[in-house]
Amino acid sequence: MLSVADRYLLSEITKVFSAIILTLLMIMVSILLLGTLEDVNLGALSNNAVLRYLGLQILRDMASLLPPAFFIAALVTLGRLARDSELIAFGACGFGPIRLYRAFLLFAIPLSLITGWFALVGQPYASLQLQIIEDAKGERSTQVAGLRAGRFYQQEDGNITFYAAGIDDKNRFQGVFIQDRRAEKPRLVLSDRGLYQRDPNTSEQSIVLEEGRRYDGSPGTANYDFAEFDRYTYYLEPAGETDIERRRRAALPTSELIGSSALLDRAELGHRLSAPVAIYVLALIAIPLTTLSPRQRGTGRLLLAFLAYFAFFNLQRLAENWLETGVTPAWMGMLWYQVAILLMVYLSLAPGSFWLRQLRDRLRGSSVPATGLRLDR
């Protein structure tokens, strides 16, 4: 049975968590919507598929959004209770840290189950559907190159600039202009006609140009090379093999990853399991990171909370890379970083803990209890 204090704490953290997750969702939707509208503007995505494409992206990223939202909600809720001296009132009524852990774990258990569903079921499904859409976008881009006539487009951080004056009925470019600044000598390619090609197996992209000219050299100098061609294939840098393999693994069902001995599959499975497990770990470190009394200085604990937050989610990617490359042994997995952060927080706060102070007082033979003065009637 839940006590009044349990229901009160669950109500408080639920309200704060709902506000934080809605705020983070609005920010994420705004960022994803900009990229989606850019694909629509380039002609690589139809208007009817915008909402579905956006929904799949949200479904894919929800598992990584819930743990940080829960950690922030826990810190905000406990901070508000400490500021209003409610934690002191709870302690006076016998509602100590153990009961706080119990209340927060009651909230963390259903949240971890929801996060586990998003990570183990929703994320691979959304990744697979997004991969199908991306392949369809590639086929559409192969036909019209995802471009519109009379507009400049840039790739690779602006090092490649592409322009086509027109596109005929056979999806061929007319009046092609390409500027390439990747090499030491800038390259300028002009052609009367061109056609975009993309290999579906290797994702190799190229533009086949016909009847054109190529200039290699810096503008304003006499040191340049000039050549004319009847047919010229201009290769664009394809997507990296590692990125393609990672996208393929992200779309695999979780059942296929369980029991696999491949390091890449084990790293992907650990990545999916890290989200629901992180809910429990973050619940265990949120309570000691909270200042119990408004008279206590909370600067050190607040700094430690920020360090634990950034270290927790940055080490997750590092642990996954180390498992993929074999830096860490396979038996260790990739969840070791959560245990490391948990130990770091508790060891950092151990010198000022109540139990350690009580142990020191007993060792010194002090007659005064660690909890304060005792009044005898």
In the chain, which ranges are E strands?
A: 152-155, 160-167, 173-180, 187-198, 205-217, 224-236
Averaging pLDDT over each range in 172-176, 256-260, 274-278, which range is the top one? 274-278
How many angstroms separate the Cα of 135 from the Cα of each of 41, 154, 236, 245?
A: 18, 21, 18, 15
Would you say 358 and 348 are in contact if contact means Cβ atoms under 8 Å apart? no
What tens digit of pLDDT does each residue of 111-125 get? 999 999 999 999 999
What tens digit of pLDDT does each residue of 154-197 get? 666 667 787 888 877 666 788 888 888 877 788 888 888 888 77
How many angstroms separate the Cα of 68 from the Cα of each of 63, 339, 368?
A: 10, 17, 42
Whole-angstrom Cα distance, residue 197 to residue 190? Answer: 18
Torsion-angle region of 223 (φ positive above 0: left; ψ -120 to 50: alpha; else: beta): beta
Q: Compute the average pLDDT of residues 149-154.
A: 72
How many angstroms separate the Cα of 367 from the Cα of each of 353, 357, 370?
A: 19, 14, 9
What pTM value is reported for the model?
A: 0.68
Position 144 pLDDT exceeds 70: no
Whole-angstrom Cα distance, residue 84 to residue 355? Answer: 25
Enumerate the domain spans of the chain. 4-139+244-363, 157-236
375: pLDDT confidence band, cut at 50, 70 and 90? very low
298: pLDDT confidence band, cut at 50, 70 and 90? low
Quick one: pLDDT at residue 370? 46
69: pLDDT confidence band, cut at 50, 70 and 90? very high
Quick one: pLDDT at residue 352? 60
Whole-angstrom Cα distance, residue 76 to residue 82? Answer: 10
Query: Would you tell me how many other CB atoms lie within 10 Å of the CB of residue 352?
Result: 11
Q: Compute the average pLDDT of residues 295-301.
A: 60
Quick one: pLDDT at residue 362? 67
Quick one: pLDDT at residue 215? 84
Average pLDDT, the chain: 78
What tens digit of pLDDT does each residue of 216-251 get? 887 767 777 888 888 888 776 554 445 556 667 788
Query: Would you tell me how many other CB atoms lie within 10 Å of the CB of residue 112?
Result: 22
| DSSP symbol at 190 | E
Would you say 350 and 288 are in contact if contact means Cβ atoms under 8 Å apart? no
Quick one: pLDDT at residue 213? 87
Quick one: pLDDT at residue 44? 62
| Helix ranges (DSSP H) in 42-180 | 50-83, 86-92, 97-117, 123-144
Give the residue with greater pLDDT, 46 vs 92.
Answer: 92
279: pLDDT confidence band, cut at 50, 70 and 90? very high
70 burial via Cβ count (<10 Å: 0-12, 13-18, 19+): buried
| Radius of gyration of the chain measured on its C-alpha atoms | 29
Position 377 pLDDT exceeds 70: no
Quick one: pLDDT at residue 66? 93
Contacts of 301 by beta carbon, 8 Å cutoff, 6+ apart: 289, 290, 291, 349
Q: What are phi and psi of 216, to 5 degrees?
A: -115, 120
| DSSP symbol at 332 | G
Quick one: pLDDT at residue 376? 45
Choice among 48-52, 294-298, 310-314 with the minimum mean pLDDT? 294-298
Quick one: pLDDT at residue 300? 64
What tens digit of pLDDT does each residue of 23-45 get? 999 999 998 888 877 776 655 66
242 burial via Cβ count (<10 Å: 0-12, 13-18, 19+): exposed
Q: Residues 266, 271, 272, 275: what is their CA dihedral angle, to the nearest 10 degrees?
A: 150
Quick one: pLDDT at residue 24? 92
Whole-angstrom Cα distance, residue 244 to residue 44? Answer: 19
Would you say 61 and 28 are in contact if contact means Cβ atoms under 8 Å apart? yes
Position 278 pLDDT exceeds 70: yes
Would you say 279 and 66 are in contact if contact means Cβ atoms under 8 Å apart? yes
Give the residue with greater pLDDT, 135 vs 208.
Answer: 208
Position 20 pLDDT exceeds 90: yes
Choice among 16-20, 65-69, 137-141, 197-201 with the minimum mean pLDDT? 137-141
Would you say 59 and 122 are in contact if contact means Cβ atoms under 8 Å apart? yes
Quick one: pLDDT at residue 145? 42
Would you say 203 and 194 are in contact if contact means Cβ atoms under 8 Å apart? no
